Amino acid sequence: MAEMTMIEAIRSALRLEMERDERVIVMGEDVGQLGGVFRATDGLRQFFGPSRVVDTPLAESVIAGSALGLALTGLVPVIEIQFLGFAQNAYHQICQQLARSRYRTRGAQPAQITVRAPFGGNVRTPEFHSDSMESQFAQNTGLKIVMPASAPDAKGLLLQSIRDPDPVLFLEPLRGYRMISGEVPDGDYTVPFGALRTVREGSDVTLVAWSGSVPVAAEAAELLDAKGVSAHVVDLRTLVPLDEAGLVAALERTGRCVVVHEAPATAGFGAEVVALLQEQAFYSLEAPLRRVAAPDSHYPLPGVERDFVPGAGLVVRAALETLEA
Amino acid sequence: MRVEPQFLPSTEAVEPIRLLDEAGRLAPGAEAPLDPSRTLEALRFMMFGRAFDARCWSMQRQGRLGTFAPITGQEAAIMGSAMAADPARDWLVPQYRELPALLRHGYPVERVVLYRQGHPAGGFVPPGVRVMPYQVSLAAQLPHAVGIGWGMKLQAQSGVAMVYFGDGASSEGDFHESCNLAGIVDAPVIFLLQNNGWAISTPRSIQTAGSDIASRAPAYGFPGVSVDGNDLMAVYLVTAQAVERARQGGGPTLIEAHTYRMGAHTTADDPSRYVDPETEKGWARRDPILRVQRYLAQLGEWSEDRDAQWRKEIEADVDDAFERASRFPPPRASDLYEHVFDEVTPALARQRRWHLQEAAGGDEETG
């Protein structure tokens, strides 16, 4: 066990897997000499050389698309898209080509590829860097979507992602890179997909979150506690596959639920969560399901981003409203 | 001092390389890069491709086959390049007009029939066959080919990736990104551009203001070459040289094969709305199959009898392709849920249960 920030946990997973499996290569913009703009790949080039830690030109589509070709020759690419906001330049390759390769070849040409990308707000980035686009990717089947919220999960889920035979979009909460830390087990371990994590036990209202919204939900739970409300907080960990049974069980603990995410509300993944719960747990509901999300506006310049990214105060308000309903 | 910046000149189109003229005569002093037996091998695939087109066209019109893209007129560009590839170590990455190249590389023809019938099994690639399935999204296959070539290079293998695309695809962003990366990592990739004059109804003049497409290659740091795409020998010659250079670590080549789509873009197209019949007649005189047959006739390797015999055999081969496809069980609704993920997700498992219960009821009704 060692205390690590999330970025350190990610780096340790990359290094461990590259040592364990010589087929693994890391590629992306600025990942080699610089070690990544957030230093996720810092030091890897010294260990593994420039042919396994590859600086690419600034071209997201061919970074993602060439990864499929590399995989067909037996390599295991881990690509970094510098910010998720740039991933739409590779949207077709990731969502249609990588995600569909197994299906369209009837299993002959699967795409064992991990696409890492940081996302999320409140870190004063320039435009087009911070958007939460997970639901856009979740609409494309064949792609697994992994969104860790803790340091030990970041390591264990990343190791699972690289070993997973399907393409994985591994989304890293930007503001959690150094803010989120925790005890990370030494050595090799994986965290399975499709098994949510209970962050905190509670009995009055269930808060559902993932990635950078988990600390927001946890903070809201503290504030609710001070008001005598016991919140049950779960971290989905993976959106695809989704732990449907775990979600229903978490809702049944309290009969009330607030889903929290950073993406704008309309067609955000929160809509999927509440639809699922009303389909599968309707008779356990004590109140209407609620979503706390960003407004249907554009990710702003930093001056108003704290008003865009949902904070704990909004979560508390929504939770109290469900208790009054 | 007055500064006179040097503006780069616009590039001039180079004359496409040609070895066989329309009468099938070898250029004076030229040696044929393919011997008679390999020329016959290529011709057989070319003739099969055209016969398969004709059969598929007829079946599509009878409603027994889906939309497909014919290759008629482009057989020399396809086979001249494919003959330079080694199925044991090289990869072929098609767009959708390369049928005979895929067959020579080991892709089973019945899979193509199934694909055109709309059967999901049509996309399967048997183990050890180094091809990717047809790519309907233009230029999306170019990044894959760069990755394949690059991956083989990283693992010190001698294979090359041969990737096909058209003049329309050369306008896509993936063309630029792929050439750029291939140049940077010196990937052993042959970019085989079949410039057939049309992207559905869009003529070459609307794809680019440049004089040709091959001339873009030097800007990416590798050679480009222009070749008569209806000349089997010339296409083979330049492709074989490009393959050899790539094997030796010389990196990618862009080959622009000037050919012509003799007919519609697909079975859903009506070229009479935009093609000048006179232009098409001119290209008919440059037919790539006739050219090879005339060449072989001069060597005593081709005759009317042999032509008749081959046509008969090829019709039987086409029959056989459809017959083998017909042995596959018909597609089932459950195919939708297979190979989506390595392991089915809870959501997909739930959907499968619900949908297939309904489908099972329907099956019972229809017996």
Give me the number of domains chain A comprises.
Answer: 2
| N-term to C-term CA, chain B | 91
Quote the ipTM score: 0.96
* A84 and A220 housed in the same domain: no
Whether A66 sits inside 8 A of B173 (CB atoms) is: no
* A174 and A212 housed in the same domain: no
Of A129, A162, A184, the residue that ends a domain is A184
CA distances, B88 to each of B105, B131, B143, B157, B252 (Å): 8, 11, 22, 12, 20
Question: Do the beta carbons of residue A322 and residue A256 sit within 8 Å?
Answer: yes
Q: Would the pLDDT of B361 be above 70?
A: no
A 10 A CB-CB count for B320 gives 12
Structure tokens at B108: 């089973």
B144 touches chain A (CB under 8 A): yes
Of B127, B151, B348, the CB nearest to A70: B151
* A242 and A120 housed in the same domain: no
d(CA B276, CA A164): 54
**A33 in a structural domain:** yes
Can you tell me whether residue B293 is helix, strand or coil?
Answer: helix
* A206 and A133 housed in the same domain: no
- Residue A224, judged by CB atoms within 10 A of its CB (0-12, 13-18, 19+), counts as buried
* A137 and A252 housed in the same domain: no
Of B124, B127, B181, the CB nearest to A66: B181
d(CA B222, CA B254): 8
Q: Would the pLDDT of B366 be above 50?
A: no
**A190 in a structural domain:** no
Question: Do the beta carbons of residue B208 and residue B170 sit within 8 Å?
Answer: yes
* A146 and A283 housed in the same domain: no
Can you tell me whether residue B365 is helix, strand or coil?
Answer: helix
Which residues, in sequence order, are CB contacts of A201 under 8 Å at separation 6+?
A232
Whether B147 sits inside 8 A of A165 (CB atoms) is: no
* A152 and A238 housed in the same domain: no
Q: How confident is the model at residue B362 (pLDDT cuts 50, 70, 90)?
A: very low
User: Lowest-pLDDT range, A64-68, B131-135, B203-207?
Assistant: B203-207
Of A184, A210, A227, the residue that ends a domain is A184
* A45 and A122 housed in the same domain: yes
Q: How confident is the model at residue A321 (pLDDT cuts 50, 70, 90)?
A: very high
Q: How confident is the model at residue B8 (pLDDT cuts 50, 70, 90)?
A: confident
The CATH number of the domain holding residue A239 is 3.40.50.920
CA–CA min distance A28, chain B (Å):
12
* A256 and A154 housed in the same domain: no
Q: Would the pLDDT of B125 be above 80?
A: yes
pLDDT for the residue B330: 96
Question: Do the beta carbons of residue B252 and residue B222 sit within 8 Å?
Answer: yes
Q: What is the mean pLDDT of residues B168-197?
A: 97
Whether B339 sits inside 8 A of A102 (CB atoms) is: yes
Question: Tens digits of per-residue pLDDT, B56-92?
Answer: 999 999 999 999 999 999 999 999 999 999 999 999 9
Of A123, A150, A184, the residue that ends a domain is A184
* A180 and A207 housed in the same domain: no
**A38 in a structural domain:** yes
CA distances, A230 to each of A233, A262, A316, A318, B19 (Å): 10, 23, 11, 14, 83
Concerning whether B332 is annotated as a catalytic residue, the answer is no
Q: Would the pLDDT of A238 be above 60?
A: yes
What residue ranges in A135-218 does DSSP mark as E strands? 144-146, 168-173, 181-184, 197-200, 205-209
Which residues, in sequence order, are CB contacts of B70 under 8 Å at separation 6+?
B53, B56, B57, B97, B261, B263, B264, B266, B267
Q: What is the mean pLDDT of residues B81-109?
A: 98
Structure tokens at A238: 């993976």
Mean pLDDT for chain A? 97
Query: Token match 């392709």: residue?
Result: B321
Whether A74 sits inside 8 A of B151 (CB atoms) is: yes
CA dihedral B275, B279, B280, B286 (to 10 degrees): -150
**A144 in a structural domain:** yes
Of A54, A71, A106, the CB nearest to B123: A106
The CATH number of the domain holding residue A163 is 3.40.50.970
**A30 in a structural domain:** yes
d(CA A69, CA A112): 11
A275 touches chain B (CB under 8 A): no
Question: Tens digits of per-residue pLDDT, B40-52?
Answer: 999 999 999 999 9
DSSP string, A131-151: ---HHHHHTSTT-EEE---SH
Mean pLDDT for chain B? 94
* A202 and A146 housed in the same domain: no
d(CA B89, CA B188): 12
* A41 and A79 housed in the same domain: yes
Return the closest-CA partner of residue A59 out of B178, B362, B158, B189: B178
Structure tokens at B215: 């001339």
Whether B342 sits inside 8 A of A243 (CB atoms) is: no
Can you tell me whether residue A204 is helix, strand or coil?
Answer: coil
| Chain A residues close to B144, C-beta within 8 Å | 65-66, 68-69, 72, 97
**A219 in a structural domain:** yes
Note down the domain range covering A85. Answer: 2-184
**A191 in a structural domain:** no
**DSSP H/E element including A178:** helix A176-179
**A189 in a structural domain:** no
Question: Tens digits of per-residue pLDDT, B202-212?
Answer: 998 899 998 89
d(CA B49, CA A286): 66
Question: Do the beta carbons of residue A143 and residue A98 sit within 8 Å?
Answer: yes
Rg (CA), chain B: 22
Question: Do the beta carbons of residue B269 and residue B275 sit within 8 Å?
Answer: no
Return the closest-CA partner of residue A322 out of A254, A262, A247: A254
d(CA B140, CA A166): 19
